């Protein structure tokens, strides 16, 4: 799904616009997390086009990593706050 345009996905349907592309169907029932790439045009001109650079499906390993990252953020914040 990464590096695929909407045009490519629509073309893959061979004119059957009522169907959902297989790559999208594979995400059904999942709760994916998308990592976006924004550029200056998104931020300064308000353009709404963006690229999905990463797709994660949450699992125990990812949730553990997230909790560890949050704990590090809290420790850094508390260190800065105490200075």
Note the pLDDT tens digit of each residue in 13-58: 777 767 777 777 887 888 888 888 888 877 788 777 777 888 888 8
DSSP label of 52: E
Main-chain dihedrals φ then ψ at residue 68, nearest 5 degrees:
-65, -40
Mean pLDDT for the stretch of residues 52-69:
88
Q: Are 58 and 36 in contact (CB under 8 A)?
A: no
């Amino acid at each position: 799904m990464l590096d695929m345009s909407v045009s490519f996905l629509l073309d893959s349907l061979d004119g059957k616009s009522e169907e959902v592309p297989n790559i999208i169907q594979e995400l059904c029932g999942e709760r994916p997390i998308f990592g976006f790439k924004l550029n200056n045009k998104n931020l300064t001109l308000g353009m709404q086009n963006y690229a999905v650079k990463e797709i994660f499906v949450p699992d125990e390993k990812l949730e553990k990593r997230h909790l560890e990252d949050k704990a590090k953020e809290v420790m850094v914040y508390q260190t800065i706050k105490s200075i």
